[in-house]
């Protein structure tokens, strides 16, 4: 059975208390009216001599037998009047109580909704922040609740303070990654230029050339790491450029380049799949999926498949590949930065573990989702779903 909402419970409590109080009031009124009517109508048949009874006020003389008959008639009339009055009180009072209780329940529903409106505002803000794309997005929102300083106002102000601190924390983290990556690019570029200049000299010995090649390889790895960090930081920020892009065209171009550099069997099924976003980031997303499929494969005996389509108003890009068996419980860990399978950190000879992290960050920045499923025979099926033009 579905639980009642707080508003419904408050309404039921208010209506129940009103009904209980009305019932008690009706019962007390019934008892008081009954006691008052039991006192009689004020007739007093007094005997003025030994044989006759006189009627009050008129002084008419009647016999004792006539007086007794008259007393019975008066008691009967009095009892009938009392019973009619009590029945009328119960009937009309019960109807009035039912009508007023219904009105009280309706009024209680309105009052409860009015009282819970600040909580609905808090819940709506929290839901929008929780549903924002990407970590830290939506934290700029505030509840900014107006009204008297009560418990609900203090809750809203505390929530706003928490959001402000989280917003500053996420902004500082993104700025640090971006600034550090930019600052590290310059010395790496200088190192590369100096090493290339040294090994290209005509009189450079073989040992120096060999050492230079090693240094260039290390420097290239560092440049790729910095480039990955920059892309990850940029994809966590709000998109500033939005262009209509066909994922089929982009995936076809990048798949041709991948097929020329690998011995894997590459196949494609590319149907139009248009979306809107940053072309550079979307190209990086597709390239990372292809590079990941090539890197974690079976070599010359392996294969990869790229497909695009539009389904239910979403542009879908799917990259499938052969490879080692991936446990289902390990799938989520490969989307963490610097992580690979078995939750081990990237060591350096097979990339940095940023590829799928960047894919997820870019997809979220575009209002999309990424899902990975392990294939029974080994490898992964990674599906990216992005909104089509005109769809939020």
Domain assignment present for residue 198? The answer is yes
pLDDT of amino acid 45 = 47
Rounded Cα distance, 380 and 247, in Å: 20
Q: Are residues 261 and 383 in the same domain?
A: yes
Domain assignment present for residue 173? The answer is yes
Q: Are residues 253 and 205 in the same domain?
A: no
What pairing do the DSSP bridges indicate for beta strands 303-311 and 274-277?
Answer: unpaired
Q: Are residues 284 and 170 in the same domain?
A: no
Expressed as residue numbers, the domain containing 203 is 152-234
335 near 135, Cβ under 8 Å? no
pLDDT of amino acid 136 = 55
Q: Are residues 215 and 247 in the same domain?
A: no
Residue 269 Cα distances to 249, 257, 317, angstroms = 11, 16, 10
Q: Which CATH number do you get for residue 361?
A: 3.30.565.10
Q: Which CATH number do you get for residue 174?
A: 1.10.287
Q: Are residues 194 and 312 in the same domain?
A: no
Domain assignment present for residue 142? The answer is no
Q: Of 212, 234, 256, which one is at a domain's C-terminal end?
A: 234
pLDDT of amino acid 374 = 92
pLDDT of amino acid 40 = 55
Contacts of 299 (CB under 8 A, 6+ apart): 263, 264
Domain count, the chain: 2
Q: Are residues 271 and 360 in the same domain?
A: yes
Q: Of 234, 253, 276, which one is at a domain's C-terminal end?
A: 234
Q: Are residues 279 and 334 in the same domain?
A: yes
289 near 335, Cβ under 8 Å? no
236 near 174, Cβ under 8 Å? yes
Q: Are residues 248 and 382 in the same domain?
A: yes
Q: How far apart are the first and last CA of the chain?
A: 35
Complete DSSP assignment for 179-224: HHHHHHHHHHHHHHHHHHHHHTSTT--HHHHHHHHHHHHHHHHHHH
272's enclosing H/E stretch is none
Given its phi and psi angles, is residue 286 left (phi above 0), alpha (psi -120 to 50 degrees) or beta?
alpha
pLDDT of amino acid 322 = 93
Q: Are residues 281 and 357 in the same domain?
A: yes
Q: Of 234, 264, 287, which one is at a domain's C-terminal end?
A: 234
Domain assignment present for residue 79? The answer is no
pLDDT of amino acid 117 = 85
373 near 331, Cβ under 8 Å? yes
Rounded Cα distance, 273 and 316, in Å: 7
Q: What is the full per-residue pLDDT of the chain (392 aa) written as tens digits?
A: 467 888 888 899 989 999 999 999 999 998 888 887 776 545 444 444 444 555 555 556 667 777 778 777 877 877 777 788 888 888 998 899 999 999 999 999 998 888 888 888 888 888 877 766 555 566 777 888 887 788 888 888 888 888 888 888 877 777 776 677 677 778 888 888 888 888 888 888 888 888 888 888 888 877 777 776 676 666 666 566 688 999 999 999 999 999 988 889 999 999 999 999 888 889 889 998 998 999 888 878 899 999 999 998 899 999 999 998 888 888 888 888 766 655 444 444 455 567 788 888 888 888 889 999 999 888 999 999 999 987 65
Q: At what angle do helices 206-235 and 279-295 cross, to 10 degrees?
A: 120
Token pair 């990674």 is found at 382
Of 126, 317, 140, 357, nearest to 236 by C-alpha is 357
Q: Are residues 287 and 164 in the same domain?
A: no
Domain assignment present for residue 110? The answer is no
Residue 227 Cα distances to 151, 216, 296, 344, 364, angstroms = 49, 16, 21, 22, 19
Burial (Cβ within 10 Å: 0-12, 13-18, ≥19) of residue 379? buried
Domain assignment present for residue 300? The answer is yes
Q: Are residues 338 and 300 in the same domain?
A: yes
Domain assignment present for residue 107? The answer is no
Q: What is the number of other CB atoms lying within 10 angstroms of the CB of residue 197?
A: 11
Domain assignment present for residue 123? The answer is no
pLDDT of amino acid 137 = 60
Q: Are residues 203 and 303 in the same domain?
A: no
Contacts of 324 (CB under 8 A, 6+ apart): 296, 298, 341, 378, 379
């Amino acid at each position: 059975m579905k639980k009642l909402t707080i508003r419904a419970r408050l309404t039921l409590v208010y209506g129940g208390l009103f009904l209980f109080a009305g019932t008690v009031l009706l019962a007390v009124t019934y008892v008081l009216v009954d006691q008052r009517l039991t006192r009689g109508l004020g007739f007093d048949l007094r005997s003025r001599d030994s044989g006759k009874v006189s009627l009050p006020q008129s002084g008419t003389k009647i016999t004792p037998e006539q007086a007794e008959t008259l007393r019975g008639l008066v008691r009967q009339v009095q009892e009938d009047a009392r019973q009619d009055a009590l029945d009328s009180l119960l009937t009309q009072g019960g109807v009035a109580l039912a009508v007023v209780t219904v009105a009280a329940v309706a009024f209680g529903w309105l009052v409860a909704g009015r009282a819970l409106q600040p909580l609905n505002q808090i819940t709506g803000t929290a839901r929008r922040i929780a549903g924002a794309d990407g970590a830290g997005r939506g934290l700029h929102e505030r509840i900014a609740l107006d009204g008297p300083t009560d418990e609900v106002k203090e809750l809203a102000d505390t929530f706003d303070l928490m959001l402000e601190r989280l917003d500053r924390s996420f902004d500082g983290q993104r700025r640090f990654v971006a600034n550090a990556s930019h600052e590290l690019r310059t010395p790496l570029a200088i190192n590369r230029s100096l090493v290339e200049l040294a090994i290209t000299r005509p009189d450079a010995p073989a040992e120096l050339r060999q050492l230079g090649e090693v240094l260039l390889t290390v420097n290239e790895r560092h440049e790729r790491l910095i480039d990955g960090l920059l892309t990850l930081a940029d994809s966590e920020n709000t998109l500033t450029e939005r262009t209509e892009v066909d994922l089929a065209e982009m995936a076809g171009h990048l798949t041709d380049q991948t097929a020329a550099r690998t011995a894997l069997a590459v196949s494609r099924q590319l149907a139009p799949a248009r979306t809107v976003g940053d072309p550079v980031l979307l190209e990086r997303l597709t390239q990372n999926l292809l590079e990941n499929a090539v890197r974690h494969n079976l070599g010359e005996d392996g294969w990869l498949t790229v497909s695009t389509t539009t389904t239910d108003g979403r542009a879908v890009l799917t990259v499938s590949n052969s490879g080692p068996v991936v446990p289902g419980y390990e799938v989520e860990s490969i989307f963490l930065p610097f992580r690979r399978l078995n939750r081990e950190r990237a060591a350096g000879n097979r990339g940095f573990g940023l590829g799928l992290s960047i894919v997820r960050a870019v997809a979220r920045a575009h209002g999309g989702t990424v899902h990975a499923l392990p294939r029974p025979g080994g490898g992964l099926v990674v599906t990216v779903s992005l909104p089509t033009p005109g769809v939020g």
